[in-house]
């Protein structure tokens, strides 16, 4: 069984279990995604004469692939990911460089963000997000003391994230670059870095991102148009004005599933970047609260168990859990903020809900790794409870009996 709590346990040893609240939240988000992709994509598919359910069928296919990948991730010991963190990092760099290779990389809407696999395309940044979390977590475990006490201990993970940012800005992908920097800083802070050191390292990065945004006029227009989208509602403010009208029409309980008007070729990217606006129109404030509650539950449980893992000595599992939770939570916050007009327009999908092959497959893989961290953290909790209950004279060789438990706690 996929959620067998006895998986990989020792005989009479500590047992692990996947966090069921987290499972419920993630499955709930995926189910919302299936329903809303079906609702929001029909008009887009019909306008392109490719069949009303073209995007839904592909979304279900990608979701199935994602579930398969997640199941493998859930059965993979985290020590393997920690051991091969450098190899994964090298693979991430190669993936980000391949988008610029003619014949392999694809140029779409002026951006080099996709790899051409003939039968489908792949966006490497989705895999790089997970790899960055794994590499940063392994670094924090290996250099815990220097991260907590030294300014230079922060330099390497920030520079690694900076390398990814440079490659992403060359594509260009400003939204993902900003997200990666934010997650890296968040993980380092959770790793015990002093705020003054983080400020000293983070301020130049923020200044660099601001300079990059100001250097490209279209980025500055995006950064400023959300303040007053009605000043230019048919150009720079078009997406946001349509999104706000959709959200306003939803009122308290929405206009009903499938009854959205703005998705009928008025709202651009209705099934991807602006799917939250369609949810708001069709389900109103109730739908907004349900989606935000599911994200809150998923991110909250991930962060809680991540911190718990660090306290138990499962530092790698804890850092990975916190990093993935931050990645999903911040991306969801940005996507929702863009739809509500609270943040500048960025091309970030709503995790597990928006249509998108690379996004849905790799987010499922990320969710699988997150669930694996909860399994190993819960195994450590069970090991500690076993050690507390076991009397020293319960067996002839008490140390031999407690050894498996002690190993699980300190692994």
Two tokens, residue 111: 């951006």
Q: In what order do the strands lie in the sheet with 105-108?
A: 105-108, 111-116, 121-122
Distances (CA, A) of 310 to 110, 146, 304: 43, 17, 10
Q: Is residue 221 exposed (0-12), middle (13-18) or buried (19+ Cβ within 10 Å)?
A: middle
Q: Which residues contact 338 (CB under 8 A, 6 or more apart)?
A: 226, 240, 243, 273, 274, 344, 345, 346, 348
Query: Which residue in this structure is represented by tokens 């020792």?
Result: 10
In sequence order, the β-bridge partners of residue 111 are 108
Q: Could you write out the DSSP letters of every residue in 110-130?
A: TEEEEEE-SSSEE-HHHHHHH
Going by C-alpha positions, the residue among 325, 309, 315, 306 that lies closest to residue 381 is: 309
Output the six-digit token pair for 363.
Answer: 């987010």
**Phi and psi for 239 in degrees, rounded to 5?**
-60, -45
Report the DSSP pairing between strands 105-108 and 121-122.
Answer: unpaired
Q: pLDDT truncated to tens, each residue of the chain (411 aa)?
A: 444 444 444 456 778 889 999 999 999 999 999 999 999 999 899 988 898 899 999 999 999 999 999 999 999 999 999 999 999 999 999 999 998 888 888 877 667 788 887 777 888 999 999 999 999 999 999 988 888 888 787 888 888 888 898 898 888 888 888 899 899 999 999 888 888 777 777 677 667 667 766 666 666 666 666 777 887 778 778 888 999 999 999 999 999 998 999 998 888 889 999 999 999 999 999 999 999 999 999 999 999 999 999 999 899 999 999 999 999 999 999 999 999 988 887 778 999 999 988 899 999 999 999 999 999 999 998 888 887 776 655 544 434 444 454 454 455
Count CA atoms closer than 13 A to 290's CA, side-chain side.
20
């Amino acid at each position: 069984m996929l959620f067998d709590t006895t998986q990989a346990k020792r005989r009479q040893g500590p047992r692990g279990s996947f966090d069921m609240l987290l499972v419920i939240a993630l499955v709930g988000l995926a189910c919302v995604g299936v329903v809303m992709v079906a609702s929001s994509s029909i008009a887009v598919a019909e306008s392109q004469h490719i069949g009303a359910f073209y995007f839904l069928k592909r979304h279900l296919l990608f979701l199935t692939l994602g579930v398969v990948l997640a199941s493998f991730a859930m059965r993979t010991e985290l020590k393997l990911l920690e051991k091969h963190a450098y190899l994964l990092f090298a693979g991430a760099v190669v993936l980000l460089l391949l988008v610029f290779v003619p014949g392999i990389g694809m140029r779409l809407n002026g951006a080099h963000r996709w790899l051409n696999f003939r039968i489908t395309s792949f966006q490497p940044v989705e895999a790089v997000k997970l790899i960055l979390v794994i590499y940063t977590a392994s670094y924090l475990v290996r250099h815990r003391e220097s991260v907590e006490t030294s300014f230079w201990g922060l330099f390497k993970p920030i520079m690694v994230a900076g390398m990814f940012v440079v490659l992403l800005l060359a594509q260009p992908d400003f939204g993902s670059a900003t997200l990666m920097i934010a997650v890296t800083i968040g993980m380092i802070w959770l790793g015990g870095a002093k705020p003054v050191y983080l400020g000293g390292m983070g301020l130049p990065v923020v200044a660099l991102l601001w300079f990059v945004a100001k250097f490209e006029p279209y980025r500055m227009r995006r950064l400023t148009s959300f303040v007053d989208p009605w000043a230019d509602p048919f150009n720079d403010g078009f997406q946001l004005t349509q999104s706000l009208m959709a959200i306003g029409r939803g009122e308290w309980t929405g206009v009903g599933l499938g009854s959205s008007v703005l998705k009928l070729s008025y709202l651009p990217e209705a099934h991807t970047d602006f799917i939250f606006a369609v949810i708001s129109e069709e389900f109103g404030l109730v739908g907004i609260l349900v989606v935000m509650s599911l994200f809150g539950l998923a991110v909250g449980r991930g962060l809680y168990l991540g911190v718990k893992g660090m306290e138990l000595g499962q530092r790698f599992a804890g850092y990975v859990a916190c990093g993935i939770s931050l990645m999903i939570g911040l991306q969801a916050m940005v996507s929702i903020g863009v739809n509500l007009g609270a943040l500048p327009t960025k091309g970030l999908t709503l995790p597990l809900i928006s249509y998108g092959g690379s996004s849905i497959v790799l987010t499922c893989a990320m969710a699988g790794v997150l669930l694996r961290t909860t399994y190993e953290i819960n195994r450590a909790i069970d090991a500690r409870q076993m050690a507390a209950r076991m009397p020293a004279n319960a067996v002839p060789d008490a140390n031999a009996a407690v050894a498996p438990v002690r190993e699980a706690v300190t692994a």
